[in-house]
Amino acid sequence: MRKYYDDIRRIAGNVVTVRASDVGYDDLAVVSTGRGDSLAQVIRLEGREVSLQVFAGTQGVSNNDRVRFLRHPMQVPFSNDLLGRVFDGAGRPRDGRERINADGVDVGSPPVNPVRRRMPDKMIETRIPMIDIFNSLVESQKLPIFSVAGELYNELLARIGLQADADIIILGGMGLRHDDYLKFRQTFEDGGVLGRTVMYIHTAADPVVECLLIPDQCLAVAEQFALQGRRVLVLLTDMTAFADALKEISIIMEQIPSNRGYPGDLYTQLARRYEKAVDFDEAGSVTVLACVTMPGDDVTHPVPDNTGYITEGQFYLRNGRIEPFGSLSRLKQQVNGETRDDHRAIMDGCIQLYALCRESREKRDMGFEMSPWDRRLLKYGELFENRIMNLAVNIPLFEALDRCWAILAECFEPMETGIRQSIIEKHWPR
């Protein structure tokens, strides 16, 4: 027998409070209004009062509409039929095709026991030298791309998605413009990977609560695929929109904000999602790449700041290039010792010299005299930017390493590079 409750006591923001009994925390409910049905989730129990977060928003909900409880938490249907499909934040098909008929899996599953995680040790080659040489991407890594509005971060994300070899790609779009969504779709179609892609897309026009559900659905599905032994790459864009949705809702819930209006548990909320990145012992893996736009290009803004503390490094995309400073892959040490013996030496040496080059440029810009050493550094910087940093460069790792040696030899004496002798003897171009 279906039981309905219609004693709605309060409607504010996206939250409806109804009197009901025997309701589980975190359970789903359906709110039926004149405009149709919307899913909602229990976010607070207080005596007989149950507060529900309504996914489609509360516009048009009246105080005698009906609520029905589903007696289970948020679920997402899971089967291989998901591949090639597109859904919205509430899990409805966005591609005009029929619903998926499969058993649901709970979103927000418990954390993985650390002792059942493998140590990440497989490099993902992207053919972008700034990533492959300097900050290698590793399977099961969680890594954000810090960028600002106007940069082509979605394009970079799509390119990595295409070129990295993963069994399954899951794209989660939050607050996406509709044409960005179409562009992703087009890119994946042209790249021939649409058949192994699942998309969960929330556009800027959709209700804000649905934005919150995107990462959870993506990661729940990714986890299931990984448990089947597949290597899954999850692309999330833009996590700042996700955090802003959290902020909006927590303020409506009258939570005390901690920093610039964001809730005190922002770190935990983000971590619970990013930590779904995992390399299962004796099963597959989930790698998470996320775009984070920095409001005002400010890395100390709470969203990039909290993200940086959670993720295993970050890429800065600025002026169309991946910045060598600040960009970091924490897991690179797990893989770059195994590639080629000069990989680490080139990685450190080239960046240290490029840092010196920037100092020389500052001096030059202030009108100081350039010493011969300064001039060598300036030349190096120029070559390094054009032949390595340029995002148009699309070459495999070893070729990129050789290219770095060529640039060093063109500009410096071996000793000036700071690279240790044994490596120089072996690799210095003659």
Partner 1 sequence: MNGRIIAVHGNLVKAETSTRVVQNSVGYCVRGDGTRLLSEVIRVRGNVADMQVFEETRGLRVNDPVEFREEMLSVTLGPGLLGGIYDGLQNPLPKLAEQVGYFLTPGQYMTPLPTDNKWTFSPAVQTGAAVQAGDTLGTVPETLFEHAIMVPFGWRGTYKVQRIAEPGDYTIEDEIAVLSDDSGQEHPVRMRQTWPVKLPLCVARQRQMPQDPLVTRVRIIDSMFPVVRGGTYCIPGPFGAGKTVLQQITARHAEIDIVIIAACGERAGEVVETLRDFPKLQDPRTGRSLIERTIIICNTSAMPVAAREASIYTAVTLAEYYRQMGLNILLLADSTSRWAQAMRELSGRLEEIPGEEAFPAYLESRIAALYERAGVIELKDGRIGSLTIGGTVSPAGGNMEEPVTQGTLKVVGAFYGLSRARSDARRYPAIDPLESWSKYRGIIDPAKVAKVRRLLARGNEIKQMMTVVGEEGTSIEDLTTALSADVFDNCFLQQNAFDEVDGATPADRQIFAFDKLLEVLELEYAFADKEQARRAMVLITDLIRNWNYAAADTDEYRDRLAKIDRFIATKGQES
**Dihedral sign (CA 130, 135, 137, 142):** negative
| Range 227-231 contact pairs with CB under 8 angstroms and sequence separation of 24 or more | 227/280, 227/283, 227/284, 228/283, 228/284, 229/283, 229/284, 230/167, 230/168, 230/284, 231/139, 231/166, 231/167, 231/168, 231/284, 231/285, 231/287
Site for partner 1 in 367-396 (CB under 8 A): 367-369, 371-373
Binding mask 305-334 for partner 1 (x = CB under 8 A): xx-xxx-xxx----------xx-x-xx-x-
Question: Pick from 116, 178, 375, 426: which binds partner 1 (CB under 8 A)?
Answer: 116
Two structure tokens written together for 427: 């690799």
Q: How far, in Å, are 79, 99, 104, 165, 278 from residue 221 at the CA level?
A: 9, 16, 10, 19, 13
**What sections of 275-342 are H helices per DSSP?**
302-310, 332-335
Two structure tokens written together for 165: 């070899």
Q: Is 88 in the site for partner 1 (CB under 8 A)?
A: no
Point out which span in 123-131, 196-204, 265-273, 390-398 binds partner 1 (CB under 8 A): 265-273
Of 145 and 201, nearer to partner 1 (C-beta) is 145
What's the closest the beta carbon of residue 405 comes to partner 1, in angstroms? 18
What's the closest the beta carbon of residue 60 comes to partner 1, in angstroms? 27
Site for partner 1 in 407-426 (CB under 8 A): 415-416, 418, 420-421
Q: Is 24 in the site for partner 1 (CB under 8 A)?
A: yes
What's the closest the beta carbon of residue 223 comes to partner 1, in angstroms? 9
Question: Pick from 36, 114, 150, 192: which binds partner 1 (CB under 8 A)?
Answer: 114
Distance CA 295, CA 299 (A): 8
Q: Is 165 exposed, middle or buried (0-12, 13-18, 19+ CB in 10 A)?
A: exposed
Q: Is 256 in the site for partner 1 (CB under 8 A)?
A: yes
Cis peptide preceding 26, ω within 30 of 0? no
Question: Pick from 102, 182, 355, 406: which binds partner 1 (CB under 8 A)?
Answer: 355
Of 330 and 387, nearer to partner 1 (C-beta) is 330
Point out which span in 7-15, 164-172, 209-217, 280-288 binds partner 1 (CB under 8 A): 280-288
Question: Pick from 47, 96, 192, 195: which binds partner 1 (CB under 8 A)?
Answer: 47
What's the closest the beta carbon of residue 112 comes to partner 1, in angstroms? 6
Distance CA 383, CA 13 (A): 55
Q: Is 255 in the site for partner 1 (CB under 8 A)?
A: yes
Question: Pick from 129, 173, 207, 302: which binds partner 1 (CB under 8 A)?
Answer: 302
Of 24 and 84, nearer to partner 1 (C-beta) is 24
